Amino acid sequence: MSADPVRPSVCTAAVLSHEGRGAGYRLLRLSAPAVAAAAAPGQFVHLRVPALEAGALRRPFSICDADPATGELAILYKEVGRGTAAMASLAPGDGVDLMGPLGHGFPLPPPEATPLLVGGGYGVAPLYFLARSILARAKSKSLEGRKNDHPTTQPPNPPTIHLFVGGRTAADLLLLDEFRELGVEVHPATNDGSLGAKGLVTVPLDAFLSERRGDHAFRPVLYACGPAPMLRALDGRALAGGFPAWLSLDRRMACGVGACCGCAQKVSGPDGAVRVAMVCSDGPVFPQGSVVWD
């Protein structure tokens, strides 16, 4: 897991914009400078839903994007129940009580690695922030190289990032234009075949991996966020293929900071010993081979 996160802030974030993305999905942009400055990809915010009773629990949402320069933070969410239905009425200028950034996010890949991002539904949210962060690091390394004045040295190419994205229908595949604008190669899959490969997201992923079998220069690092069966299948692929993977677990949460044991998850360490971890504070991102799948 990545280094200890900085202390989370609690703030009232102002809604900047709130747009429907179809099929019950919405993109919420907030002004939250302290959270945006400290956020790392894979971390989440715990949001107190306005319009619910005072004692209602906060709801966790992945940070879909954060810009320290503007103080903006984006959340991509799906309306599934009472809290997310109440969030749907948020309008520009409204205030939202926010705690974050929380949890341990995705470690960035080594520069020579090929990042394979795998998402289902709103699981693409933290992957978008990850893709932006990988590319921003590559750009700053290239600028650093130029500043150090090595005119004969070519700046390293930014890595080609691949996104494997799955959903029931085309309407569940989100942010595809935004990923493509970053230069990410998108490999879609839908259960009904309405976009991309027909079937699960593992269909295009398996095809991609088998094309590269025997290529010793190919160093994949897999990053995934989505439903548990998808994460479990990917964990198996990473273990069988001998490459690293980082899996972001989705769990119902209460406190969000490791105090209530409401998000307990069995994990095993390198020595095989099983212990209980808290998804909110030890995760939500766990390395391949560590989650004990029930």
Binding-site ranges for ligand FES (CB under 6 A): 253-256, 258-263, 278, 280
Minimum distance, C-beta of residue 253 to ligand FES, in the bound complex (Å): 4
Chain centroid offset of residue 224 CA: 7
Given 27, 125, 186, 238, the residue binding ligand FAD (CB under 6 A): 125
- Is 81 among the residues that bind ligand FAD (CB under 6 A)? yes
CA–centroid distance for 66 within its chain: 12
> Using CB distances below 5 to 8 A depending on partner kind, what does residue 255 bind out of ligand FAD, ligand FES, none?
ligand FES
> Contact with ligand FAD (CB under 6 A): which of 120, 250, 285, 286?
250
Burial code (b: 16+ CB inside 10 Å, e: under 16) for 208-236 equals bbeeeeeeeeeebbbbbbbeeebbebbbe
Nearer to ligand FES, 18 or 58 (CB): 58
Complex with ligand FAD: residue 82 or 180, whichever CB lies closer? 82
Question: How near is the Cβ of 117 to ligand FAD at its closest, in Å?
Answer: 14
- Nearer of residues 5 and 199 to ligand FES, judged by Cβ: 5
We find the least distance from the C-beta atom of residue 114 to ligand FES, in angstroms, to be: 33
Q: Of ligand FAD, ligand FES, none, which one sits near residue 18, judging by CB under 5 to 8 A according to partner kind?
A: none
Spatial distance between the Cα atoms of 230 and 235, rounded to a whole number of angstroms: 9
CA angle, 136 then 179 then 157, to 5°: 45
C-alpha span between 99 and 102 (Å, rounded):
8
Residue 57 DSSP one-character state: P
The one among 284, 285, 288, 290 contacting ligand FAD by CB under 6 A: 284
The Cα 51–Cα 67 span in angstroms is 28
Number of residues that bind ligand FAD (CB under 6 A): 20
72, β-bridge pairs: 31, 67
Among 252, 264, 275, 293, binds ligand FAD (CB under 6 A): 252
201 binds ligand FAD (CB under 6 A): no
